[in-house]
Amino acid sequence: MATIRDIAKKMGLSVSTVSRALNDNQRISIDTRKRVKKMAQELGYQPNYNARNLTNQEANAVGVVFPVNNRVVDNIFYVGLLRGINEELISKNYVLSVAIGNSTEQVLENVKSMITRAQIKRFILLYSHINDPVIELLRKQPVTFVTIGKPAAGQKWLYVDNNNVRAGADGTHFLMKRFHVSNPIFAESPNGWPYELDRREGYLREMAQKNRKPVIFAVPDEDEHQLDQLIKENPQMDGVVATDDYTGLKIYHRFKVLHPDKEIEVVGYNKSLPNELTDQHFHSVDLHPKEMGQAAVQLLFENCTETRLKHTIVEHSI
Amino acid sequence: MATIRDIAKKMGLSVSTVSRALNDNQRISIDTRKRVKKMAQELGYQPNYNARNLTNQEANAVGVVFPVNNRVVDNIFYVGLLRGINEELISKNYVLSVAIGNSTEQVLENVKSMITRAQIKRFILLYSHINDPVIELLRKQPVTFVTIGKPAAGQKWLYVDNNNVRAGADGTHFLMKRFHVSNPIFAESPNGWPYELDRREGYLREMAQKNRKPVIFAVPDEDEHQLDQLIKENPQMDGVVATDDYTGLKIYHRFKVLHPDKEIEVVGYNKSLPNELTDQHFHSVDLHPKEMGQAAVQLLFENCTETRLKHTIVEHSI
DNA sequence: CTGAAAGCGCTTACAG
DNA sequence: CTGAAAGCGCTTACAG
C-alpha cells in the first residue's frame, strides 16, 4: 500500500506537505494540492485509518447501539435505520460499528470498550428508553449521541423522531377521506409505548374534529377471545387505525372470520409486513427509517452548542 | 487514559516487558505477568486499539456484509445473526463493523475501504448469492470470509448453514407425528431459493417414506385467487409445510376463510412471526440464527488449511 | 528473563 | 508556501 511518504518521495515534497495537501489545508497552494491529489490517485493511495485515528485520538467510527430486548417487528425498522446511517457515514468516510447484546451488562461493556479502547466519540441509539444505563453512561462521557425516539419528558438530548401525533391523525384522516370509513376504531398494545400514546392522541383529535365517537381497543397479546368480543361489541366499526402493522393485521383477520362478507379498511404503521401477507384493504404509514438514520448522522455531526439541543422530525407518508 | 508506558514507569519496568506481560508472552516470568496485570487493573488501563492495529497492520474488526436487496422477512434473521456474531466477537476483543448499502457498487466500495483503509482481514457475509461481486472481490484479497448459506455447486469457501433437507423432512414428520396430519402439502415461493429446494427435497423424501402422495404449491406473491384455487383442488390437505412463515401464514388464512370449520396445522421456518399473528395451529422451525452467527465467527478464527475448507451445520429445532 | 530501539502511518505545533 | 521533528501507543526483532 502506498503511504503519504511514498507520495512525498515521488514528488520531492515533505510528508507534512503531502498530509496537508490531502487534507485540503489552506496553507498549501492550490496547485500543489491538486498535484498531490493526482499523484495519490495514480499511486492508489488509501489513508490508513488506524494511523490517522491514533494521531487524532479519535476513531472515524460511529457506535450504533441496539436495544437489549426488542420485538420481532422492530428488526425490520432497525435494518432500515442501518441503511440510512451507513449511507450517510460512507460519504463522511466514517465506519459503522455495532453494539448488540443479550443483556444490559454486555451492551454496556461493549459501549465502554468502544469509548475507551476504540476511541469512538459518536453514538446512535436505535431506541430511547427511560432509565437506560447506556444513556446514563453516555451522558457522563465526553461523547455525542443521538437516539431514535424522543427522550421522556424532562430529559434532554439529541434525537430523531417522527411526529407521531400527526401520524395518528393522518392515518385516521386517510381512512375517512380515501375510503369513506365512518367509524374507525383505534387499536393499541397493552404496553403503552410512547409512540402509541402519541398516535392515539392524533386519532382522538381527528375524531373529535370530525364529531365522531372514538373507540380504543387494547388488544391483548394472546387472548383471541377477548378480541373477538371487542369486535362484536362494535358492529359500527368499518375501519381500524392500529399502532403497528401486526396488531392491525391480527384484527383484520379476526374481523374477516367473524364478518366474512363485510368490508373493512385497516391502516398500521411501519411498513413491516411483506406483500405476501397484505391486500388492498391493508395500508401502512411509512415512517421512513432510512431517512431517520440519515438525519441521526447529520445531527451527530452538527457541532451544536450545548445550550440548545436540537432534534429532527422525519416526515411520514402513507 | 493510562498507557503501558504509565504502567512501566510505575513499576520500574520497560515498556516492552509490560507489553509482553499483558500479551501473556512466555518469555516473561509468570510472577511479573501477574504483577503487571494487577497494576494494569489498578490504573484502569485500557489498550488503545488504534495503536495496536497500526503496529499489527490489521484491525481487530470483522466486517459484516448485508445483501443489497433483501426481503422484509429476512431482517429478523439478520438481527439474530448480528446478536450471535457480536457475542462471539466480544469475547475475542473484536469489533463488529457493518457494510450495508442500496447498490452493489456502494457495498463494494464499502468493503474495499474496509480492506485497504481500515485493514480489516475477516468478513462475514449474511448471504450467499451466485456471482456476487463482493464475494468475487474477497476471494482475490488476502482476507478470510464466511458466508451464511452454502455456496452454489462447484464453488468452495467457508460457510455456515442449516441442513435444509433435514429441516424439510423434520417439519413434515413433525406434523404427521405430533398432529396426526395425513396429507401435508408443501408450499414454496416462485423464486426457487436454494434453501427452498432443499426443504422441498426433505418433504418429498419424508412423504415417499410414508407412502403418501406429495403436493407442491407454488404460491404466487399477489394472486390470491390462484391460491384459493389450489386449496380447493386439494380437499384432502390437512397440513402445510411452508418454506417460510409468511407463505405459511398466508395459506393458513386463506384456508380458514374457505373452510371456517376445518382444522389445519401449519409449519413454517425461521420463527419470523410475532406471537400476535399466530396461534396453536401455527408452528415454526427455529433455524437458530444466533448460533449460526456464533459458528460463523468461530469458523473465521480457525486457522484452517487452505486445502480443506470447512463449514458448520447448525441444528434446527421445532 | 528483561530492555533499548525502531517502526507502524499519520497530524500538527513550531520554525522559517 | 513548505519542511523537520515530535508524538500518538502499541509490538517485536535484536541484543544481552
Whether residue A309 has pLDDT greater than 60:
no
Confidence of residue A308 (pLDDT cuts 50, 70, 90): very low
Whether residue B306 has pLDDT greater than 50:
no
Instruction: Say yes or no for a CB contact (<8 Å) between B50 and A47.
Output: no
Chain B residues whose beta carbon lies within 8 Å of the beta carbon of residue A66: 79, 82
Measured distance CA(A176)–CA(A228) in Å, rounded: 24
Nearest CA in chain A to B102: A83
Instruction: Say yes or no for a CB contact (<8 Å) between A116 and B53.
Output: no
- pLDDT of amino acid A304: 56
Per the CB < 8 A criterion, the answer to whether A59 and A119 are in contact is yes
Q: How distant is C1' of D12 from CA of B27, in Å? A: 13
Lowest mean pLDDT among A191-195, B6-10, B118-122, B313-317: B313-317
Instruction: Say yes or no for a CB contact (<8 Å) between A79 and B82.
Output: no
Nearest CA in chain A to B58: A50
Whether residue B85 has pLDDT greater than 90:
yes
Q: Please give the model's pTM, rounded to 2 decimal places.
A: 0.92
- pLDDT of amino acid B310: 66
Measured distance CA(B163)–CA(A273) in Å, rounded: 27
Nearest CA in chain A to B95: A97
pLDDT tens digits, A2-26: 999 999 999 999 999 999 999 999 8
Confidence of residue A181 (pLDDT cuts 50, 70, 90): very high
Grouping H, G, I as helix, E, B as strand and the rest as coil, residue B185 is strand
Confidence of residue B76 (pLDDT cuts 50, 70, 90): confident
Q: Could you say which residues from 172 to 231 on chain B have a Cβ atom under 8 Å away from some Cβ of chain A? A: 219, 221-222, 224
The C-alpha cell of B105 is what?
A: 457498487
Lowest mean pLDDT among A113-127, A290-304, B156-170, B294-308: B294-308
- pLDDT of amino acid A305: 47
- Nucleic strand D within 7 A of Cβ A142: no
Whether residue A155 has pLDDT greater than 80:
yes
CATH (residue range A58-148+290-314)? 3.40.50.2300
Q: Which CATH class is domain B4-47?
A: mainly alpha
Interface contact B102, partner A, CB < 8 A: yes
Lowest mean pLDDT among A221-225, B40-44, B119-123, B147-151: A221-225
Per the CB < 8 A criterion, the answer to whether A184 and A238 are in contact is yes
- Please, what is the end-to-end C-alpha distance for chain B in angstroms? 50
Task: Rank A74-78, A152-156, A174-178 by mean pLDDT and report only the highest.
Answer: A174-178
Of B35, B62, B199, nearest in space to B126 by CA: B62
CA within 13 Å, CB half, A249: 27
Q: Could you say which residues from 284 to 303 on chain B have a Cβ atom under 8 Å away from some Cβ of chain A? A: none
Per the CB < 8 A criterion, the answer to whether A206 and A172 are in contact is yes
Interface contact B270, partner A, CB < 8 A: no
Measured distance CA(B258)–CA(B37) in Å, rounded: 70
- The segment(s) of chain B belonging to CATH 1.10.260.40 are 4-47
Chain B residues whose beta carbon lies within 8 Å of the beta carbon of residue A272: 72
Confidence of residue B82 (pLDDT cuts 50, 70, 90): very high
Confidence of residue A62 (pLDDT cuts 50, 70, 90): very high
Radius of gyration of chain B (CA): 25
Measured distance CA(B117)–CA(B122) in Å, rounded: 14
Lowest mean pLDDT among A172-181, A242-251, A306-315: A306-315
- pLDDT of amino acid A261: 87
Q: Min CA distance, B98 vs chain A (Å)?
A: 6
Q: Min CA distance, A50 vs chain B (Å)?
A: 5
Chain A residues whose beta carbon lies within 8 Å of the beta carbon of residue B86: 98-101, 110
- pLDDT of amino acid B307: 41
Lowest mean pLDDT among A103-112, A302-311, B169-178, B295-304: A302-311
Q: Min CA distance, A151 vs chain B (Å)?
A: 24
- Nucleic strand D within 7 A of Cβ B16: yes
Q: What percent of chain B has pLDDT over 70?
A: 96
Q: Could you say which residues from 20 to 49 on chain B have a Cβ atom under 8 Å away from some Cβ of chain A? A: 46-49
- Nucleic strand C within 7 A of Cβ B28: yes
- pLDDT of amino acid B74: 82
- pLDDT of amino acid A276: 74
Place of cell 390437512: B238
- pLDDT of amino acid B194: 87
By C-alpha to C1' distance, D13 is nearest to B16
For residues B73-94, average pLDDT: 93
Confidence of residue A109 (pLDDT cuts 50, 70, 90): very high
- The segment(s) of chain B belonging to CATH 3.40.50.2300 are 58-148+290-314, 164-287
Instruction: Say yes or no for a CB contact (<8 Å) between A96 and B101.
Output: no
- pLDDT of amino acid A311: 67
Confidence of residue B182 (pLDDT cuts 50, 70, 90): very high
Chain A residues whose beta carbon lies within 8 Å of the beta carbon of residue B250: 276-277
Which residue among A100, A249, A279 places its CB closest to the CB of B224?
A279
- Nucleic strand D within 7 A of Cβ A55: yes
For residues B72-96, average pLDDT: 93
Confidence of residue B311 (pLDDT cuts 50, 70, 90): low
DSSP classification of residue B96:
E
Q: Min CA distance, A102 vs chain B (Å)?
A: 7
- pLDDT of amino acid A256: 86
Per the CB < 8 A criterion, the answer to whether B195 and B243 are in contact is yes
Q: What percent of chain A has pLDDT over 90?
A: 75
Interface contact A272, partner B, CB < 8 A: yes
The C-alpha cell of A220 is what?
A: 391483548
Whether residue A264 has pLDDT greater than 70:
yes
Which residue among A53, A70, A222 places its CB closest to the CB of B275?
A222
Per the CB < 8 A criterion, the answer to whether B89 and B60 are in contact is no
Measured distance CA(B17)–CA(B21) in Å, rounded: 6
Q: Min CA distance, A187 vs chain B (Å)?
A: 13
- Nucleic strand D within 7 A of Cβ B33: no
The C-alpha cell of B298 is what?
A: 468461530
Measured distance CA(A113)–CA(B118) in Å, rounded: 18
By C-alpha to C1' distance, D3 is nearest to A14
Per the CB < 8 A criterion, the answer to whether A1 and B116 are in contact is yes
By C-alpha to C1' distance, C8 is nearest to B55
For residues A165-189, average pLDDT: 94
Work out how many CB contacts closer than 8 A connect A with B: 159
Of B117, B116, B180, B143, nearest in space to B125 by CA: B143
Per the CB < 8 A criterion, the answer to whether B64 and B97 are in contact is yes
Nucleotide nearest to A16 in CA–C1' terms: D3
Whether residue B220 has pLDDT greater than 90:
no
Q: How distant is C1' of C3 from CA of B58, in Å? A: 26
DSSP classification of residue B267:
E
Chain B residues whose beta carbon lies within 8 Å of the beta carbon of residue A261: none
- pLDDT of amino acid A307: 40
Cα separations (Å) of A33 from A20, A227, B248?
8, 69, 61
Which positions of chain C lie under 7 Å from any protein Cβ? Answer: 1-13
Q: Which CATH class is domain B164-287?
A: alpha beta
Q: Min CA distance, B91 vs chain A (Å)?
A: 10
Dump the DSSP string for B198-227.
HHHHHHHHHHHHTT----EEE--SS-HHHH
- Nucleic strand D within 7 A of Cβ A100: no
- pLDDT of amino acid B154: 86
- pLDDT of amino acid B168: 94
Measured distance CA(B157)–CA(B135) in Å, rounded: 10
Longest dimension (CA), chain B: 86
What's the mean per-residue pLDDT of chain B?
91
Per the CB < 8 A criterion, the answer to whether B200 and B231 are in contact is no
Nucleotide nearest to A55 in CA–C1' terms: D8
pLDDT tens digits, B239-253: 999 999 989 998 998
Dump the DSSP string for B242-263.
ESSHHHHHHHHHHHHHH-TT--
Measured distance CA(B195)–CA(A118) in Å, rounded: 39
Q: How distant is C1' of D4 from CA of A28, in Å? A: 17
What's the mean per-residue pLDDT of chain A?
91
pLDDT tens digits, A30-40: 989 999 999 99
Which residue among B79, B221, B253 places its CB closest to the CB of A75?
B79
- pLDDT of amino acid A6: 92
Dump the DSSP string for chain A.
---HHHHHHHHT--HHHHHHHHTT-TTS-HHHHHHHHHHHHHHT----HHHHHHHHTS-SEEEEEPPSS--TTHHHHHHHHHHHHHHHHHHTT-EEEEE--SSHHHHHHHHHHHHHTS---EEEES---TT-HHHHHHHHTT-EEEEESPPPTT---EEEEE-HHHHHHHHHHHHHHHH--S-EEEEE-TT--HHHHHHHHHHHHHHHHTT----EEE--SS-HHHHHHHHHH-TT--EEEESSHHHHHHHHHHHHHH-TT---EEEEES--S-GGG--TTEEEEB--HHHHHHHHHHHHHS---TTS--EEEEPPB-
- pLDDT of amino acid A179: 93
Q: Strands across the sheet with B216-218, in order?
A: B216-218, B184-188, B239-242, B265-269, B282-285
